[in-house]
Structure 1
Amino acid sequence: MESEPTAELIRAQLRRLRLAAELTQEDFGKQVHFSGSQISAIELGQRPYDRLFLKRADEVLNSDGLLLGLLRIAELHGQPHFLRPWLDAERVAQQLRCYHPTLVPGLLQTEHYARAMIRADDMFSDDEVERRLAVRMDRQAILTRPNNPPILIAVIEEATLRRADESFRGIMTQQIGHLLDCVKRGGVLIHIIPVEASVHVGLDGPLTLARGAEGDWVGYLENQVGGATIDRADEIATLLSRWEGIRSVALPKGQSELLMKEVMESWSTI
């Protein structure tokens, strides 16, 4: 949920943009598929808005994504306190290294895959699932930003790519295709740990590392109830050593791509 000051700012900007466009609430409402009274209620804070509404409003008002951008900022600042230092490090990283023993890293997840993973927690309402999904998708924008995007190196378990029942097969096929597209686009390197490597140091848990412009490293460790940002030199040294242990059992780039294609084809033909 957006904070109240940010919600007020979004409503104020919505009204300012609408008036600048010389649109009545009724005329504007028709263009975004709302009634004039509904627009009035949104501007007065008597009715909530969602991402779809703000996206339509930005398009109609030619606001260059201002309203949706404000919502994204509010959502990022609304993240738990333990996550905020990591988000700051991730946003300015020159290189990212990601490993998870059971999942595709969040920065490489498709929308369908991410939604399924978030929805697996039945404590989340549908609205909360969609909010978390939107934040996750927005974070991926760092990989395609026009100025100095980070290099992402991801290590993924072959078993992760092969874990899918019949209902999940289409999502998994699309997800692997997305991984291959990311590699082809450039800026992303993916290495697969084959199932034969049954025991290695990475099985202790997921880890992510970010290297800043000055060469400094920050780490992030997640768990069932939250996560921790790591910046102490001795702990970073340990994580870098663990990363090298994980990377050492993964296949080279070319072999990893061939294995991903093989797994994707196996899901497509079953």
Structure 2
Amino acid sequence: MPGPKDLDPSSSPRALLGAELRHARERRGLSQAELGEPLFVSGSFIGQLEAGTRRLHREYAVQIDEILGTGGFFARNCAALAVSRYPDHFAEAAEAEAVATGIREYTQLLIPGLLQTRTYAEAVFRAYKPTAADAEIGDLVAARLERAHLLDDPTTPLLWAVLDEAVLRRAVGGRAVMAEALRHVTGLARRHRIIVQVLPFGAGAHASMTGALKLLEFGDAPPLSFVEGPDMGKLLDDPATVARHVLTFSLLQAAALSPQESLALVESVTQDYEHGDQHA
């Protein structure tokens, strides 16, 4: 019987590879946990690979081919999954984000990438890479704006953002850029496409003082969390860690202003920027 054909990179390679993995595993009569054991990963990790919420890396693919007797199929097709428009530390998170049914995100210093305008994103990337060529900055901005097309669907994913008040007060790109960026955020919220809360300075100490946090939920796979720093990021699937991050986000929501109060504050700050009244 002929083996599976190589995947077409123009399709959705990660979803197709996940479906092939599930088929090959079940054909061998293995559970997700049984396949994960020789790889030293959990059964839930295998489930995430099969659901397309995690990328299959070559070191796992080679072992899977050996265990399932798939003749190098998974190792060959890892190349289709390795191509990404995003930095290495964020590529897997961006891929998971694209198939998430729910995204909850707390940011300390900047508007979340999915909610950024072109001019705001340009200012952010130029600050990150002050000597980069314009073409490189343009490519980064284009990739970020392409991610935002996730919000073209009227209902999915559910995006709930908690913004530290510092996000509003830091004049990224200047007053005009900030006014446009904040109008974009409030426009999405007023159209009931996203939920936004602001964590005010007056809240004092809170549950995520050490950094930003992103939670990803899926219809057919366990949730993930993502944490990042300068030029690094990690997608986490350990159930205890993710549960702790879910609690952290819940505490942030509780400490933040209500969505209605938050919109009023964002719109007030927007007017300050528009009229030149925003001060450091």
Query: Structure 2-normalised TM-score?
Result: 0.65
Number of the residue aligned with 2:124: 117
Among 126, 150, 153, which residue is 1:142 paired with? Answer: 150
Q: Deviations over 1:15-68 (max 9, x none)?
A: xxxxxxxxxxxxxxxxxxxxxxxxxxxxxxxxxxxxxxxxxxxxxxxxxxxxxx
1:207 aligns with 2:203: no
Shift of residue 180, structure 1, vs aligned partner? 0.8
Give the AA of the match of 2:134.
D
Among 152, 164, 175, which residue is 1:157 paired with? Answer: 164
Shift of residue 88, structure 1, vs aligned partner? 2.3
Number of the residue aligned with 2:72: none
Shift of residue 112, structure 1, vs aligned partner? 0.6
Percentage identity across paired residues of the two chains: 28
Distance 1:154 1:195, change over 3 A: same
Give the AA of the match of 2:123.
A
Among 98, 122, 138, which residue is 1:130 paired with? Answer: 138
C-alpha RMSD of matched pairs (Å): 2.2
The whole-number CA distance in structure 2 between the counterparts of 1:75 and 1:132 is 18
**Structure 1 residues 211-222: aligned runs within 5 Å:** 211-214=217-220, 216-222=222-228
Distance 1:170 1:97, change over 3 A: same
Shift of residue 265, structure 1, vs aligned partner? 1.1
Give the AA of the match of 2:178.
M
Distance 1:124 1:210, change over 3 A: same
Number of the residue aligned with 1:98: 105
Name the stretch that deviates more: 197-206 or 171-180.
Answer: 197-206
Among 170, 174, 194, which residue is 2:180 paired with? Answer: 174
**Structure 1 residues 1-270: aligned runs within 5 Å:** 77-121=84-128, 122-145=130-153, 149-164=156-171, 168-214=174-220, 216-270=222-276
Shift of residue 225, structure 1, vs aligned partner? 2.1
Name the stretch that deviates more: 220-229 or 83-92.
Answer: 83-92
The whole-number CA distance in structure 2 between the counterparts of 1:246 and 1:130 is 34
Distance 1:118 1:109, change over 3 A: same
Shift of residue 184, structure 1, vs aligned partner? 1.8
Distance 1:97 1:129, change over 3 A: same
Number of the residue aligned with 1:38: none
Q: Deviations over 1:88-142 (max 9, x none)?
A: 2201111100111111111101111111001002253222111111100000001
SS in 1 for 2:167: helix
Shift of residue 84, structure 1, vs aligned partner? 3.0
Asked if 1 retains the 8 angstrom alpha-carbon contact of 2:105 and 2:215, the reply is yes
Asked if 1 retains the 8 angstrom alpha-carbon contact of 2:107 and 2:167, the reply is no
Give the AA of the match of 1:233.
P
Shift of residue 215, structure 1, vs aligned partner? 6.0
Q: Structure 1, unaligned stretches of length 5 or more?
A: 1-5, 7-72
SS in 1 for 2:204: coil
Asked if 2 retains the 8 angstrom alpha-carbon contact of 1:76 and 1:135, the reply is no
The whole-number CA distance in structure 2 between the counterparts of 1:76 and 1:247 is 36
Distance 1:76 1:199, change over 3 A: farther
Asked if 2 retains the 8 angstrom alpha-carbon contact of 1:220 and 1:227, the reply is yes
Distance 1:195 1:209, change over 3 A: same
The whole-number CA distance in structure 2 between the counterparts of 1:214 and 1:102 is 32
Number of the residue aligned with 2:39: none
SS in 2 for 1:205: coil
Give the AA of the match of 1:144.
D
SS in 2 for 1:229: strand
Give the AA of the match of 2:119.
H
Asked if 1 retains the 8 angstrom alpha-carbon contact of 2:109 and 2:170, the reply is no
